[in-house]
Amino acid sequence: MIGAGLAGALMATLLAQRGWTVEVYESRGDPRLHGFAGGRSINLALAERGLHALRAADADRDVLAQAVMMRGRMVHPRAGTPQLQRYGRDDREVIWSVSRGELNVTLINAAEAAGATIHFDRRLEAVDFPAKRAFYRGGGELHRVGFSTLIGCDGAGSSLRAQMHARTGLGERTEWLGHGYKELEIPPAADGGFRIEPNALHIWPRGRYMCIALPNDERTFTVTLFMALEDQGDGDPSFETVPDAAAALALFERDFADALPLIPELVHDFEANPIGTLGTLYLDRWHLGGDAVLIGDAAHAMVPFHGQGMNCAFEDCVALAGHLDATPDLATAYAAFEAQRMPDATAIQKMALDNYIEMRDLVDDPGFLLQRELELALQARHPTRFIPHYAMVTFMRIPYSLALERSEIQRRILEDATRGRASLAGIDIPALDGAIEQALAPLDAGP
């Protein structure tokens, strides 16, 4: 396996548990010795799909012990009091903020405990597929190692993908978003507690740009500022027009005034942390016969706005393990994995792009809030048929492609019913029953 990141360490665990001989080659040093990202806290939202995969690896309890529950979005308007919009109906429908570094260490420990061997400081450089040899750079040397098959878990910039592509085109294309991000930090309060509500994902929506903040168990928040990379000529800020810490301070004073006092090291963070770029990676093929297969970001990197990249990568691991259980023929297993997962990856990639608009623009829009109110009313009326979009993606494990298909039907019903209205008062809700029963078959609503 190439890469002992999130997908790699979980995949290694699942395969080693099944008795496979698993050797993992990871370009970075052992995070248990070196730490992560220069010591910065970077976190991720973990949802039901990811949790289910962690249960399969028996790693869920360790991960949840360090996680912070997020009940909903805390939306910070330009002026006025922040409001919590719950993600689900109650505390059984929540997501979890987890530290990327701690999660990776937990999974690396799980992989080793299950019997996998992880070789750190080994960067895949080249693959000789006919001779079944891979070449890894590490410790100033090039190491040549034979393989029976390769699983690529080496992330969005996958070296294995490049080697496969050189052998037989994979139909690779990346659509760049044109927006980037910068990470900042809210430290603990003077008494050691959280400075703002911990059990929420905070959002400062500002139209075509936004800030978000996720809690960490050490009482900090990781803040991420998202905006266009280049000036769009529309008066909105971009990394081009906000090139340095002084401009960032002015931006926060104007647009994120309640966040500014929470980020005392804004000048340092803005200057020290890199601008991340965001894109969606599409491939026509994920495997090369039985010689190699790609999973996670290496196969289908996506923009982070649905908080599903890791969750989807973890779902890949369970799916691939299942296909390998079903047949001893690797090429057949990889083809079945690709056929199952590619439509789902494409669906969540689209939903992730759509969710950027929802987060940065719609969450404080009265029309959107009215649709959300109606969505909950219809869910109460049709609990197995009308399940909110966010719930299908986040709290269930139905295929992403099915969640997308049903969400589109539901969105049309919501838009039609709320058009031109300011409240639910004038909507004849029972009159919608027929359309719902006809268009939406019942789903098993449990996770």
Interacting residues with ligand FAD (CB under 6 A)? 2-8, 25-28, 44-45, 123-124, 153-155, 159, 181, 224, 276, 296-298, 304, 307-311, 313
CB closer to ligand FAD, 28 vs 89: 28
Q: How many angstroms separate the Cα of 253 from the Cα of each of 79, 212, 220, 360?
A: 12, 16, 21, 18
Task: Using alpha carbons, select from 404, 436, 414 the residue that is nearest to residue 369.
Answer: 414
Kindly state the smallest distance separating residue 384's Cβ from ligand FAD, in Å.
Answer: 26
Cβ neighbours around 404 below 10 Å, total: 20
Place of tokens 């990889």: 334
Kindly state the smallest distance separating residue 415's Cβ from ligand FAD, in Å.
Answer: 28
Residue, CB closest to ligand FAD = 5
Kindly state the smallest distance separating residue 95's Cβ from ligand FAD, in Å.
Answer: 8
Kindly state the smallest distance separating residue 295's Cβ from ligand FAD, in Å.
Answer: 7
The Cα 52–Cα 58 span in angstroms is: 10
CB closer to ligand FAD, 347 vs 414: 347
Strands 173-186 and 276-282: antiparallel
Kindly state the smallest distance separating residue 399's Cβ from ligand FAD, in Å.
Answer: 17
Q: How many angstroms separate the Cα of 325 from the Cα of each of 271, 322, 412, 413?
A: 49, 5, 41, 41
**Dihedral sign of CA atoms 213, 278, 368, 208 in order:** positive
Cβ neighbours around 69 below 10 Å, total: 14
CB closer to ligand FAD, 153 vs 283: 153
CB closer to ligand FAD, 161 vs 385: 161
Task: Name, in order, each residue with C-beta under 8 angstroms of 250's C-beta and a sequence gap of 6 or more.
Answer: none
Query: H or E stretch including 175?
Result: strand 173-186
Kindly state the smallest distance separating residue 152's Cβ from ligand FAD, in Å.
Answer: 9
Kindly state the smallest distance separating residue 296's Cβ from ligand FAD, in Å.
Answer: 2
CB closer to ligand FAD, 297 vs 378: 297
CB closer to ligand FAD, 17 vs 355: 355
CB closer to ligand FAD, 297 vs 375: 297
**Dihedral sign of CA atoms 156, 159, 164, 167 in order:** positive
For residue 369, what are its two tokens? Answer: 């809030």
